[in-house]
Amino acid sequence: MEVRAVSKYVRISPAKVQKLVGAIKGKPVESGLQMLKFMPQKAADILEKIIRSAVANADQNADIDVDLLVIRNITADQGPTLKRWKARARGRGTRILKRTSHITVILDEDTALS
């Protein structure tokens, strides 16, 4: 049975999140969280929180064994971009793009682990 957790409008670029996604996708939840704990990136803390939320969602369902959960898929899609201006030389201005992400974590029970 599949369990999801979604975090929207997270103030981090989706490209920065996708760098970490490949490392933990397909791993058991416990080892994925252990890997994220020792990664120095800001995205690691964000992903850890979302995965823990998905595990808590799974814990609410009596049919799911939390110990057998595997990270099936993580997607980091682009959210709305905040556009800001920065003053530059000679009275010019440059646009700064502050990107946001919509992160979805999907966990599933792995029957091979039981």
Is-above-0.85 flag for pTM?
A: yes
Instruction: Please count the structural domains in the chain.
Output: 1
Average pLDDT rounded to a whole number, residues 86-112: 93
65-93 pLDDT tens trace: 888 999 999 999 999 999 999 999 999 99
Average pLDDT rounded to a whole number, residues 19-48: 94
CATH code of the domain in which 38 resides = 3.90.470.10
Compute the mean pLDDT over every residue in the chain, rounded to the nearest whole number: 93
In this predicted structure, the answer to whether residue 102 has a pLDDT above a threshold of 70 is: yes
Q: Which long-range CB contacts under 8 A does 40-45 form with residues at least 24 apart?
A: 41/16, 42/12, 42/16, 43/12, 43/16, 43/17, 43/19, 44/20
Enclosing domain of residue 49: 2-113
